[in-house]
Structure 1
């Protein structure tokens, strides 16, 4: 990948990235204005403006504005408002990048800000605020930000009460805020795609922005030490360590990105491995709470079912020990982890790479020049600690940023002696004993490689699901295996893809390391052990329902068959892995059994009081033509569902309709979440929408159909070896795939007939609703 930076004649700073092998392109705009820039009279104004920019601009209105237009291209679009900046971003097929940037430019610089749209978005933000009042991560971040004092403690999210009833006055405030801050010297543009750097520069030249502003506010992050805090919250307990850093923005990011690779490593001897072995925490997550040109506020969150104050102190002690060990690591090891950072980043989608560069963690080309000195200096930076507890005896009510927190200052001192962590870094010098190959080889389907790597895919048989307990147990066992694979030059994952847990092993060049990885992974899946209960996710209700949907659609089985597939060029290694698989006890499926779909309405116990519903409509006849018709139909429904229920009727915060494959079953997925509308009413809205779409489907023009076909054709080819292996297995076992012949054969009649059948066969629908966990 090559890059270029340029400054347009109007002062706009542009960052261009040529990614020759990409299929999609992405764009991101960062504006140097956020919640702290709002006038005191209008808390939440920046957040409201973020929403309104998507509601139409001078050149692009209705279905031609950025959000519905990107959705019709099969892309994704979103935005975020932070303390001192706002960002807007999208990803779509590369051919459409220029048109997308035109819409992005117009909505950023020439929004309509109509009074009708203002009233609509106030209702949406009010619903969002009601949701955030009970969101654990939001409340934790609020408790950390509260330690900074004014102006950080002011209300920023916005709600109906804060915006008031005088829409004319509010409209004037929005226009003044936009006129002041959305100027060329306050905007940066990132573009990434397969286009050449010259082509990307031409696209950037068409980004119209107003002349530079004379002055832009500069906010200073306080650096004084403040009290540590305990916060009462339900669910998993978390220990946060936040570090306030000073230095050039790019240097801070380069150093912290490399540090994060050390911190998030899961190999034996890593910080996470030592913490897990000691029973202190399960997961570690890092994020920026604040960034500007000369400062960064970094937060690390250690999570477990229970973390006592004493355990929190032990976590912190091991954290500082590990940091000291990083500083003492040798140059080869530092370079190795820097290479891992670049490899991890290269595997991200274009949009995630741009978000990393603009807002998060993006690796440097090499180890930062003064990395060791940077690490050594962290022990001196201001540090704040936050410990969340399910119950606090002496909690005090604190009102801050519009939220009510139950807090207690300080952390109890740790009286126990601290242990020393046995940390080590890679690469390690050690001999490897190859496993003995069984004499019999299993049939291992082999498909053409899409990437220059040998890949093994292992997953449950089609239409089989795993219980959460079993999947999480496998995850715990596979973590060190996947971490060791990463250090050996490969990559891998155990994750849920389209509702199916799958193991992907992109094997290293060394045959010895490759065979050891497969052997260790199969051993981890063989291990006997107790499957522990899984804690409820601390996330919004609709995401909890989405996580539950696969097993609500197809009940999990205890000892089902599995599938294995190979994508690669090396026949000898493929054959040796086939021998290893003969010891894999679950057995490998050779054909797909018909799915046993659960139907009707069921409830799932969730954390959170919002009303939430998922409606999954399975594809009635599973073949290539019907799948292509379903994918085309979803391109029609997605923007219209959002417009009618989110914008026009203001149902709630989450409104989505899209094609979705769940546990190998293709279908339409409608999702709604509302703070006050009962789920039965939400279901009624879904049914009514599907009926009202009969006329819309009937009015589709041949030109629109051709545009859908162009979009779907670009989605036919697999993105990686794992996807190629899945497509190959589906074709081998008679399951539908999106392919060029089916897309080319699409007709308006086939789409209309499918929509009619989806409506008629309502008994096949699966409806999952949330009930609040007591």
Structure 2
């Protein structure tokens, strides 16, 4: 990837990134204005403006505005409002980047901010505010920010009461806020795609129309730690350690990004491995709570089912011991972890990369100068702590920032002496002991690679699901194996993709390391999993229903049978791995059995007070042409469903209709969540929408159909070796895939016939609703 920076005549700073082999392109614009810049009279104004910018601009209105336009082309679009800045971003097929950029630039420069849109989005934000009242991460950040006092304790999300009934006054305030802060010299732009740097520079010129003016940024600066606090929250418990850092923004980011690779490593000898072995926590995540040009407020969150105050002190002791150990890393080891950071970043989507560059953790091309000195200085950084507990003795109830917190100031002191964990770093000098190969070779289908790496895919047989408890138990076994694979020069994952858990191993170039990695992974999978009860998910209701859908569509089988596939050119390694597979005790299958789909309405136990509904409509006749028709139909439904139910009828905060493959079953998925509307009414809205869309389907022009075909053609080719292997297995076993021939043969009558059949065969629908 090559990069360039430039400054437009209006003062807008632009960062251009040429990614030669990318299929998608992405854009992000960051504005140096956030919730803390709002006038006291209008709490939530910045958040409301974020919503309204998507509601139409001078040049692009209705279905031509950015959000529905991107959705209809199979892309992603979103925005965020934080304390000191806001950001707007999208990703879509690279050929459409210019048209997307024009829409983004126009909505930033010339939003309509109509009174009708204001009324609609105030209702949406009011629902979102209610949704956040029980959101664990939001409440933790609220508790941390509250201790800063002053303007930080002000309400910032916004709701109906804060915005009031005078839409005209609110419109004036919105326009004033936009004129005051949305200036080119208060913004930064990122563009990334396969276009040349010169072409990207030409696209950046679309933002030249944004005016330039003197900016009035927030003068709030964080210099003192907010103090320790305990917070009563349901679900998993978390220990937050926050650090107030000073220094140049770029230097802080580069050093912390490299440190995060050490912190999130799961290999033997790592901090996480030591914490898990001592049963102190399960996960470690880092995030920036605040950043400006010379400061950063960094939070590290350690989470697990139970974390006592004593365990929190033990975690912090291990953290500082680990930092001391990193200071002793050799130059070779520092370079090794820096290379891991760059590799991980390169695997992200273009949009995730831009979000990392603008908002989070993006690696430098080098080990930061003074890295060891930076680590040494961290011990002197002001720090604070937050510990969540499922139950506190006599907590005080505090109203802050629009939320109610049950908290206690301070943490109990510890008088314990903790031992130093066994920590070490990579690369190590330990010799590799190769496994013995069985004389028996298992059939291992092989496919031509898309990436220059040898890849092994292992997953349950088609139309087989796995319980979450079993999947998590296997993940516990595989974590250190996959982390060690990264250090050996490969990469791997055990994750749920389209409702199916799968193991992907991208193997290192060294054949002995590759064989050893496969051997250890198979050994971990062979071990009988010991599932543990999973805690209730602390997330919004619709996500709980989404997580439940695979097992509610196809019941998990007691005896998991497996598929294996190879994608690569290395014949010798392929053959040796096929011998290793003979030691894999679960059965390897070669044919797909017809799915046994569960149907009808199913209440699912969920946490949270909202009403939610998830409707999955399976494809009745599964062949290549029918999948192409289904995916074309989803391009029609997605923006219109959002417009009708979220914007026009204001059903709720979550409104989505899209194509989805769940547990190898293709279908349409409609999702709704509302603070007040019961699921029976939500289901009625879905049925009515599907009936009424017939008229719009009948009015589709040949030009629109051709645009759908162009979008679908972009999605036919696999993006990586794992997708190549999966597509190959599907074709071998007679399962349908999206192909260019099927897309080319699309006709409007075919799409209309499919829609009619989906509506007629309602007994095949699977409907999940939440049960409190």
Q: Would the TM-score normalized by the shorter structure come out above 0.5?
A: yes
Which position in structure 1 is the counterpart of 2:10? 10
CA distance in 2, matches of 1:208, 1:617: 46
Measured after TM superposition, the shift of residue 540 of structure 1 is 1.1
Measured after TM superposition, the shift of residue 538 of structure 1 is 1.7
CA deviation vs aligned residue, 1:618-639 (integer Å, no higher than 9, x gap)? 0000000000000000000000
Q: Does the CA-based 8 Å contact 1:244-1:381 persist in structure 2? A: yes
Q: Secondary structure at the match of 1:380?
A: coil
Q: Does the CA-based 8 Å contact 1:109-1:208 persist in structure 2? A: no
Q: Does the CA-based 8 Å contact 2:224-2:244 persist in structure 1? A: no
Which position in structure 1 is the counterpart of 2:446? 446
Q: Secondary structure at the match of 1:538?
A: coil
Which position in structure 1 is the counterpart of 2:130? 130
Stretch deviating more after TM superposition (284-293 or 31-40): 284-293
Q: Does the CA-based 8 Å contact 2:267-2:479 persist in structure 1? A: yes
Q: Map of 1:638-653 to 2, 5 A cutoff? A: 638-653=638-653
Q: Does the CA-based 8 Å contact 1:59-1:106 persist in structure 2? A: yes
Q: Secondary structure at the match of 2:208?
A: coil
CA deviation vs aligned residue, 1:134-155 (integer Å, no higher than 9, x gap)? 1001000000011111111100
Which position in structure 2 is the counterpart of 1:603? 603
CA distance in 1, matches of 2:226, 2:595: 58
Measured after TM superposition, the shift of residue 206 of structure 1 is 1.5
Which position in structure 2 is the counterpart of 1:41? 41
Which position in structure 1 is the counterpart of 2:155? 155
Which position in structure 2 is the counterpart of 1:198? 198
CA deviation vs aligned residue, 1:528-585 (integer Å, no higher than 9, x gap)? 2421111222211111111111000000012121000000000110000000111111
Measured after TM superposition, the shift of residue 415 of structure 1 is 2.1
Measured after TM superposition, the shift of residue 219 of structure 1 is 2.9
CA distance in 1, matches of 2:421, 2:276: 12
Q: Secondary structure at the match of 2:151?
A: coil
Q: Does the CA-based 8 Å contact 1:12-1:209 persist in structure 2? A: no
Which position in structure 2 is the counterpart of 1:104? 104
CA distance in 2, matches of 1:519, 1:407: 49
CA distance in 1, matches of 2:631, 2:217: 47
CA distance in 2, matches of 1:234, 1:221: 32
Measured after TM superposition, the shift of residue 209 of structure 1 is 3.9
CA distance in 2, matches of 1:529, 1:181: 55
CA distance in 2, matches of 1:105, 1:432: 55
Q: Secondary structure at the match of 2:185?
A: helix
Which position in structure 2 is the counterpart of 1:241? 241
Measured after TM superposition, the shift of residue 185 of structure 1 is 0.5
* Divergent runs of 4+, >3 A: none
Q: Secondary structure at the match of 1:90?
A: strand
Q: Map of 1:617-632 to 2, 5 A cutoff? A: 617-632=617-632
CA distance in 2, matches of 1:24, 1:478: 31
CA distance in 1, matches of 2:136, 2:448: 45
Matched, 1:688 2:688: yes
Q: Does the CA-based 8 Å contact 2:181-2:215 persist in structure 1? A: no
Q: Map of 1:331-730 to 2, 5 A cutoff? A: 331-730=331-730
Matched, 1:296 2:275: no
CA distance in 1, matches of 2:226, 2:257: 26
Output the TM-score relative to the length of structure 1. Answer: 0.99
CA deviation vs aligned residue, 1:71-106 (integer Å, no higher than 9, x gap)? 011100000000000000000000000100000000
Between the two proteins, the alignment pairs up a number of residues equal to 772
Unaligned runs of 5+ in 1: none
Q: Does the CA-based 8 Å contact 1:186-1:216 persist in structure 2? A: no
Q: Does the CA-based 8 Å contact 1:84-1:219 persist in structure 2? A: no
CA distance in 1, matches of 2:694, 2:212: 49
Q: Does the CA-based 8 Å contact 1:231-1:405 persist in structure 2? A: yes
Q: Map of 1:742-757 to 2, 5 A cutoff? A: 742-757=742-757
CA deviation vs aligned residue, 1:344-379 (integer Å, no higher than 9, x gap)? 000000000000000000000010001111111001
Unaligned runs of 5+ in 2: none
CA distance in 1, matches of 2:200, 2:529: 54
CA distance in 1, matches of 2:419, 2:125: 48
CA distance in 1, matches of 2:601, 2:52: 36
CA distance in 2, matches of 1:12, 1:479: 44
Residues 529, 117 of structure 1: CA spacing in aligned structure 2 closer, same or farther, 3 A cutoff? Answer: closer
CA distance in 2, matches of 1:48, 1:224: 30
CA deviation vs aligned residue, 1:362-412 (integer Å, no higher than 9, x gap)? 000010001111111001111010000000002001111100000100000
CA distance in 1, matches of 2:598, 2:226: 54
Q: Secondary structure at the match of 2:57?
A: coil
CA distance in 1, matches of 2:557, 2:2: 48
Q: Map of 1:194-273 to 2, 5 A cutoff? A: 194-273=194-273
Q: Does the CA-based 8 Å contact 2:125-2:159 persist in structure 1? A: yes
CA distance in 1, matches of 2:194, 2:404: 48
Q: Does the CA-based 8 Å contact 1:670-1:686 persist in structure 2? A: yes
Q: Does the CA-based 8 Å contact 2:439-2:579 persist in structure 1? A: yes
Measured after TM superposition, the shift of residue 648 of structure 1 is 0.2
